[in-house]
Amino acid sequence: MTLTDRYAEALVFAREAHSGHVRKGTAIPYVSHLLAVSGLVLEHGGDEDQAIAGLLHDCV
C-alpha cells in the first residue's frame, strides 16, 4: 500500500497538536505513541483512513 499526502498531513497535524508533550513519566515525545498505533494498524491490514485515525486518536 502507498500512503498519500493525506497521511503526511495528518502526521504533521498530530505532531503540531502534541508539540512539547511527552509520554507520562518519560522524556519520550508523545508522537511516538501515535506512530506506534498507526504502524500497528498498517501492519494488521488497516487502510490509510484507519492509519490516519491512529495518528489522530488523541487530538479530540
Reported as a single tens digit per residue, the pLDDT across 3-32 is 999 999 999 999 999 999 999 999 999 999
Label residue 43 exposed, middle or buried (CB < 10 Å: 0-12, 13-18, 19+).
exposed
Instruction: Inform me whether the pLDDT recorded for 1 exceeds 90.
Output: no
